[in-house]
């Protein structure tokens, strides 16, 4: 699938298109480390440069790229799929004490970052994830690896191969098989 987007101000160079569902696409561009999410004719920008600049390799899971509370809220949202601030707050209270307004602020910020979508319902908002956990992890991993490959290709590749095969030499065979597939695909 190919989507061509022209933008005279930014001169977009598209390098990846991921279909989320029938109306939503994530379009990756080369400049400014951004993802564009096209939703039914509307365009949302999800900038990952903030996440990557705050990359914390010593943390676990999502906390490598999100704050601790942001990561906990996103985990809850991916489990529930839709929730109000009150529902998320009640879930978080099972594990720690924090104010309702703190959760409200975090969820609002996650919506500003385009990780959550919010829809008004009565006097509250119902939030839902804008992307799946797997899609978010893939986008972050892509940005981290692209950043390494731009500046440190040789040591990054060497280290990656060493880590992949550490304790499991069969992974080297899998890697070799994938390289052959890519070479065959390129020749065709």
| 80 and 113 together in one domain | yes
Residue 19 lies in a domain: yes
Spatial distance between the Cα atoms of 49 and 33, rounded to a whole number of angstroms: 6
Q: Dihedral of CA 183/2/153/140: which sign?
A: negative
Tell whether 124 and 62 lie within a shared domain. yes
The token pair that represents 43 in the structure block? 């365009």
Render pLDDT for 41-51 as a digit per residue (tens, 0 to 9). 444 344 455 45
Domain that holds residue 86: 55-129
Give the residue with greater pLDDT, 174 vs 86.
Answer: 86
Contacts 24+ apart (CB under 8 A), 143-149: 143/33, 143/48, 143/51, 143/52, 144/52, 144/55, 147/33, 147/52
User: Residue 3 half-sphere exposure, CB side, CA atoms within 13 Å?
Assistant: 19
Q: What is the mean pLDDT of residues 157-170?
A: 84
The pLDDT tens digits of the residues spanning 2-39 come to 334 434 333 334 444 444 444 445 554 444 444 444 44
Residue 25 in domain: yes
- Determine, yes or no, domain membership for 123: yes
Q: Is residue 60 part of a domain?
A: yes
| Residue 95, domain member (yes or no) | yes
In a domain, 26, yes or no: yes
| Structure tokens that stand for 165 in this block | 């095969």
Half-sphere CA count of 15, side-chain side, radius 13 A: 11
Decide if 21 is inside a domain: yes
Of residues 148 and 90, more confidence is placed in: 90
156 lies in some domain = yes
Clarify whether residues 69 and 87 are in a common domain: yes
Instruction: Provide the number of structural domains found in the chain.
Output: 3
What is the predicted pLDDT for the residue at 126? 97
Global pTM reads: 0.66
What CATH number is attached to the domain comprising 125?
Answer: 1.10.10.10
Q: What is the CA radius of gyration of the chain?
A: 19
87-125 pLDDT, tens digit per residue, is 999 999 999 999 999 999 999 999 988 899 999 999 999
Task: Mark whether 157 and 114 lie in a shared domain.
Answer: no
CA distance 119 to 117: 7
Residue 12 φ/ψ, nearest 5 degrees: -65, 140
């Amino acid at each position: 699938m190919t989507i061509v987007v022209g933008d005279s101000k930014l001169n977009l160079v598209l390098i990846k298109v991921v279909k989320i569902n029938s109306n939503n696409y994530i379009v990756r561009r080369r400049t400014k480390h951004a993802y564009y999410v096209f939703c039914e004719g509307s365009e949302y920008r999800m900038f990952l440069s903030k996440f990557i600049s705050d990359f914390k390799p010593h943390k676990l899971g999502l906390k490598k790229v999100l704050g601790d509370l942001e990561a906990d809220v996103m985990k809850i949202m991916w489990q529930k799929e839709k929730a109000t601030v009150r529902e998320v707050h009640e879930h978080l209270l099972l594990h720690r004490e924090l104010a309702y307004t703190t959760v409200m602020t975090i969820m609002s910020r996650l919506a500003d970052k385009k990780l959550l979508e919010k829809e008004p319902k009565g006097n509250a908002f119902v939030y839902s994830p804008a992307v799946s956990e797997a899609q978010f992890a893939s986008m972050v991993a892509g940005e981290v690896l692209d950043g390494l490959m731009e500046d440190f290709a040789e040591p990054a590749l060497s280290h990656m191969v060493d880590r992949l095969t550490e304790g499991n030499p069969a992974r080297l065979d899998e890697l070799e098989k994938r390289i052959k597939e890519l070479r065959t695909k390129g020749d065709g």
